[in-house]
Amino acid sequence: MKKITTFLGCVGVVCLFWGCSSSEDILDPNAAFADEDIVSSESGDTPTSSSSSASKPSSSDAKQNPQKDPGSGTTDSVIVEHDTVTKQVVIIQNADLGDIPTPNYRKDEVFCWSDECKTKYAGQTSNPDLPSSSSMTIDIGMSVEPPVIPEVSENQMVDKRDNQSYKLTRIGGLHWMAENLKYVSKKGSYCEFDGKDHCGETGVYYSYAAAQTACPTGWRLPTKDEVETAATNQPDSWWTIGGRFKLNDEGEVTEFGLDDGQGYIWIIPSDNVSSWRIKAYSGEDVEKAFQATEGARAYNVRCVEGE
């Protein structure tokens, strides 16, 4: 009996000694389990065992197991990584807060939420409480007179601006006025010199600028080619020998003359010429030619139909 007791006591001492010597390995967090690895499922299932003790640690083990710093000999803190989840949330206004007021008045950067504010800034062009730079208001008014359309038949045209009537002739397929224009424009038309009216029989005389708009709506100055066609198809007496006015740079009349021997009309400029002249002397010689303007002049106008 004593031998059995002594044997059991020795066995106990040996077991105690072995247990103490192995406790450090068991407590070592880096110690590997010889028999099995414990794998925990993320879904919370019962852990399962793996029979291979030499397999490499998984990425999840690397996240959970602390690593030693080789330089310091100390153990780093455990690094825990979390997944980020983005979720949209709709915030609904609490009905108990009541309606949010909106501006009931706005005047050049002034916003009002009350009647008092509206009264304060009513009529203001800007917020008087804020500094502002000087400003200028420019009112631009334009008035355009509606066009006055003449009455046209095959042989007559009535200018509704002054109710003057003119005989018409068709030349080269175009309606020509068979007499000089008599409309008195607001600027650039001339008749009188030395107290005498020179427009009664010859028509009104115009500066070249005024001649551009002297014809009634739908009518214009003739071109060089149209004048040549008219001169070929009409007798010399068809043209008016009415002379011309000389003007200074300010548009004032300085002289009237040649009313007994030459007649001039303005044309649409072409090849450096802007007028046509018929020159009648005593006898049978008649000279007809185009010419450039020689200084400021006022000539007659003979209109043709067309834009």
Residue-wise pLDDT tens digits, 107-157:
455 666 677 777 776 666 555 554 444 555 555 666 677 889 999 999 999
Domain span including residue 187: 151-305
14 domain residue, yes or no: no
| Distance, CA of 58 to CA of 45 (rounded, Å) | 18
In DSSP terms, 288 is beta-bridged to 278
Maximum CA pair distance of the chain?
A: 184
**What one-letter code names the amino acid at 57?**
P
- What is the tens place of the pLDDT at every residue in 259-295? 888 999 999 999 899 999 999 766 667 889 999 977 8
| Distance, CA of 226 to CA of 217 (rounded, Å) | 19
12 domain residue, yes or no: no
28 domain residue, yes or no: no
| Distance, CA of 128 to CA of 110 (rounded, Å) | 9
33 domain residue, yes or no: no
136 domain residue, yes or no: no
115 domain residue, yes or no: no
Tell me 38's DSSP state.
E
Rounded to the nearest 5 percent, the helix, strand and coil shares of the chain are: 20, 25, 55
275 domain residue, yes or no: yes
Pairing outcome for strands 196-197 and 111-112: unpaired
Strands (E), the chain: 37-39, 48-50, 105-106, 111-112, 151-152, 156-159, 164-171, 174-177, 189-190, 192-193, 196-197, 205-206, 219-220, 244-247, 253-257, 262-270, 273-280, 286-291, 297-298, 304-305
Residue 180 CB-density burial (10 A; 0-12 exposed, 13-18 middle, 19+ buried): buried
Q: For the chain, how many structural domains are there in total?
A: 1
109 domain residue, yes or no: no
Overall pTM surpassing 0.85 (yes/no): no
- What is the tens place of the pLDDT at every residue in 226-252? 999 999 999 999 999 999 999 998 999
